[in-house]
Amino acid sequence: MNGGGTSPQPPYGHMSARGVTVAGQQVPVLVAGGSLVGLSTSLLLATAGVPHLLIERHRGTAVHPRAASFHQRTMEIFRTLGVQAAVEAAAEREFVQNGAIVSVPSLSSDQVTYFFRNFNEGVEQLSPTARLFITQIGLEPLLRDTAQERGATHRYATELVDFEQDDDGVTAVMRSRDGGAEETVRSDYLVAADGAHSLVRERSGIEMTGRGAFARCVTIYFRADMRDLIGERNLSVVYVNHPELLGFFRFSFAGDAGFLAVFSTIEADGSRDTHVAEDLTPERCVDLVRKALGRPDLAVDVDNVQRWSAEASWAPRFQDRRVFLAGDAAHVMPPTGGFGGNTGVADAHNLAWKLALVANGTAGAALLDTYDAERRPVAGLTVEQAYTRYVLRVDPSLPRDDLAAPLDDASIELGPIYRSGAVLGPDEDDGAPLVDPRLPGGRPGTRAPHLPVDRDGAPASVLDVLGDGFVLLAGPTGQPWCDAAASAAADLGMPLTAYRVAPDGTLVDAGSSFPETFGTGADGAVLVRPDGVIGWRVTAAAENPREEVERAMRRLLFR
């Protein structure tokens, strides 16, 4: 069965022919895969009140640490979802935060090159959140439990084995790992968060494009007493540029365990072996860890070895009608930069509100097409930036003729520009790939910038009023925009809150910074989408604000 074509048969006909039990379940959204991106999607959907079913092949959440560096944008999403404090508390139990990212020939060497002196160096003022280190082992249970508390249904040890879509929905076949008959579930939409080897992507006939795989790597999880090697240093990520191997370390809180990811080894003649994952013995693992630590005699116990590919690829389509690819199912990048999981959470964030508004009839179905238009170019850019960092930090021998120039990390994390029908941008597009979040913002298609305000007498960020429906933010003399927006939204049944942001506004901007930070001037306003992205901006008063704002709202909702 191929999910890519319209079935000529009734949805269940073909499945019954395979002897499948027709469970007759019906959900608006089915999420395939319940790791970082599937669980983020589930939490976002549950918070937006969208009933859904998530199925995950494994019996529980992540057992390997994998992603650990989470960027400010991801933390802003968690803040909007009300889990920032819980994530920070869990992170504190795992890592001393705000460590350095360095490169060394081995951990015992005193030649240290700093990529970051501390992880939040220079970005502290850009967000009410901080970049943070937490493993997927620590994070995923939190996302799972909160999503379930908010009404999500999750089925573990359950595998998606097949699906097909027709004009009205998707029929998926799933199977419990504990046996029993296959079951079907019918959904309006399917979100594929099933990872780099996505069955959904493959069945949809979507082949990855990009640079492909360039190394077969391993992550070696080990225990060793490294306290004297680490000393008083707070090290988040330690790249190892050893004469015999290239990789990176992350260490446990206590300095008694960690992992070494090995990208490649270097032979005596200087050639690189990029197939470390093949023929790897336990003794070889211990040897690699000792070399990278610079301690040939240290006692090292290897707990586990995980094999993975360093790859820079993305799907040429993130959507196949009712099916959406998110996370590693849509893009795979090397871990240099720590972008992979963050990009996946951003996919989920972009998609969830669109599914919610289309599912409840507030927006037209064409809003969903903007997911691919917005996320694919940003993901492609991020994959290339991860590749550039891989070439510059790890393997200069890789092809570099068409290497993208390295862009600033904060701009990659906070400054993507979306271009689609759900962004009413300026007529002239300068084609910029990113905006610099340190500069004044408010450009349609970009994240609403952080601005400290007082809300109900307490210090807050302007970002704290975003996330629950649309928000209109108006300058000090922009009250007519607030009134017009409230009236138009009521007529359209669009969820919206309007604020005047001024020293005497409903959001108190004591420093009168809003007009410049958001580029509205005193009389203008921005209409912010539920994902915190500016959908529309006006920079002056209008003769008929009601008409103008309604026109913008209809366009953003595809109505």
DSSP lists the bridge partners of residue 533 as 447
Q: Which of 27, 30, 31, 36 binds ligand FAD (CB under 6 A)?
A: 36
Total Cβ atoms within 10 A of residue 210: 18
Q: Minimum distance between the CB of residue 238 and ligand FAD, rounded to whole angstroms?
A: 13
- 55 forms part of the interface with ligand FAD (CB under 6 A): yes
Q: Is 123 in the site for ligand FAD (CB under 6 A)?
A: no
Span from 180-188, 223-231, 327-335, 454-462 in contact with ligand FAD (CB under 6 A): 327-335
Alpha-carbon span 309 to 159, nearest angstrom: 23
**Contact of 163 with 203, CB cutoff 8 Å:** yes
Q: How far apart are CA 559 and CA 368, in angstroms?
A: 13
User: Which residue, 67 or 410, is less far from ligand FAD as judged by CB?
Assistant: 67
What burial letters (b/e) apply to 50-84, b meaning 16+ CB within 10 Å?
bebbbbbbeeebbeebbbbbbbbbbbbbbbbbebb
Contact 463, 128 (CB under 8 A): yes
Q: Is 204 in the site for ligand FAD (CB under 6 A)?
A: no
117/402 Cα distance (integer angstroms): 30
- Which of 14, 58, 233, 559 binds ligand FAD (CB under 6 A)? It is 58
- Residue of 190, 180, 152 whose CA lies nearest to 53: 152
The residue among 88 and 464 lying less far from ligand FAD, judged by its C-beta, is 88
Span of 149-157, 193-201, 277-285, 431-439 interacting with ligand FAD by CB under 6 A:
193-201
Asked if 129 is part of the footprint of ligand FAD (rule: CB under 6 A), the reply reads no
Q: Does 80 bind ligand FAD (CB under 6 A)?
A: no
Helices 545-556 and 479-492 pack at an angle, to 10 degrees, of 50
Minimum distance of ligand FAD from residue 265's CB (angstroms)? 16
Work out which of 341, 415, 449, 545 binds ligand FAD, going by CB under 6 A.
Answer: 341
497 within 8 A of 465, measured Cβ to Cβ: yes
Take residue 421 and report the two structure tokens written for it: 């029908």
Nearer to ligand FAD, 344 or 425 (CB): 344
Cβ partners under 8 Å of residue 284, min gap 6: none
Site residue total, ligand FAD (CB under 6 A) = 34
Q: Output 169 or 327, the one with its CB closest to ligand FAD.
A: 327
Minimum CB separation of residue 56 from ligand FAD in Å reads 5
CB-nearer residue toward ligand FAD: 34 or 515: 34
Q: Which residue is nearest to ligand FAD (CB)?
A: 327
Q: Does 56 bind ligand FAD (CB under 6 A)?
A: yes
3-class SS string, 371-396: HHHHHHHHHHHHHHHHHHHHHHHCCC
219 is a contact residue toward ligand FAD (CB under 6 A): yes
Candidate residues 99, 138, 195, 441; the one interacting with ligand FAD per rule CB under 6 A: 195
* Binding site residues, ligand FAD, CB under 6 A: 32-38, 55-58, 66-69, 159-160, 193-196, 199, 219, 261, 308, 327-328, 335, 338-342, 344
